[in-house]
Every structure is written in structure tokens, then in C-alpha cells.
Amino acid sequence: MTIEEFKHSEKTPIIIVLDNIRSLHNVGSVFRTSDAFLLQGIYLCGMTGKPPHRDIRKSALGATDSVNWQYFKTTEEALLQLKAENYSIWAVEQVENSTSLANFKPQKNQPLALIFGNEMNGVSDEALKQADGCIEIPQFGMKHSLNISVSVGIVLWELLRKK
């Protein structure tokens, strides 16, 4: 598929919201994964790096040209726009009363936004307050922490597998 064909193809109605991601390599990896799953787009928020940047390009392998993206000064601003567009908003975070990824069932025919947080601090408290809920990836080791780009891949694979 050419970039033009990709841009005009029907997309998976999911937007990834990156909440203050520090690593430009993680941002690039999320672009690449978003391309692989034909996602609607990515919202880059706060201190999250944005294209064009060589470190993003290095891990994105051209996906910054194919995947739609927007930058927002704050994650809250991005989430307000998504709410206005009737997105169901879920943070991927380990919090009390989170829903296990294995049990999460997105609403049919409603677009979905998934918030992924900062590598050290996770999804911001402000973003958590605006989310409809939280999805947690079951983990069994000592660290209970995954790299954000790995988390994006796991969550997307599981959600699309369920469809």
C-alpha cells in the first residue's frame, strides 16, 4: 500500500493519546505500531516529542508519514476534543478498580481513545479523572512495569484480536 492509499483507507477507530512521553524512541515505536494496526491516529500531548525529529524517525521507519497525528499542549485539551467527538476514553494504567485487559470489552460502534502515560509517572492524575475507566495489563513479575511501546502493542493486539 502506498502512503496515499494508507491515508485514504478505512481506519481502525482508535486514537492513541501519549501523555507526556519522554523517550523519542518510544514515540517512534508507537507510530510504527499505529501504522501496523491501521489506527485512526495519535495525539501527542505535553512534553511528548513530535515529528520531524531524527530519533522519532529512527524507530518509526517512515510511519510518521502515514499515521495521522496532532499535537496538544496538554493532555486535557486532547481529551476534551475526544469527548466532544464521542470517543470512549480509557487509560492504560495500574490503579484501583482497573479492568483487566483480558476482561475489557470496548463498546461496539463507538470510537476508542487509549491514554498511555509517562515512563516514570504513568498517566497523569488529570487525565485519569477524564477517562471513562482504566485498563490494566496483567503482569506476574517483580517490576509490574512494561515499556510504553510494548504496552501499546499488547493492548492493540488484544483489542483487535477480540474483534
In a domain, 2, yes or no: no
Q: Cell 496538544: give the residue.
A: 72
120-161 pLDDT, tens per residue?
999 999 999 999 999 999 999 988 889 999 999 999 999 999
Number of domains composing the chain: 1
Q: Which pLDDT band holds residue 95 (cuts at 50, 70, 90)? A: very high
Residues of the chain with pLDDT > 90: what percent?
90
In a domain, 88, yes or no: yes
In a domain, 103, yes or no: yes
In a domain, 117, yes or no: yes
> Which residue type is seen at 70?
Q
What CATH number is attached to the domain comprising 42? 3.40.1280.10
> Which residue type is seen at 69?
W
Task: Of 142, 115, 119, give the one whose Cα is nearest residue 129.
Answer: 115
Q: CA-to-CA distance for 13 and 38, rounded, in angstroms? A: 9
In a domain, 1, yes or no: no
In a domain, 3, yes or no: no
In a domain, 67, yes or no: yes
> Which residue type is seen at 153?
G
Identify the pLDDT of residue 159. 96
Boundaries of domain holding 45: 8-162
In a domain, 21, yes or no: yes
Which pTM does this prediction carry?
Answer: 0.96
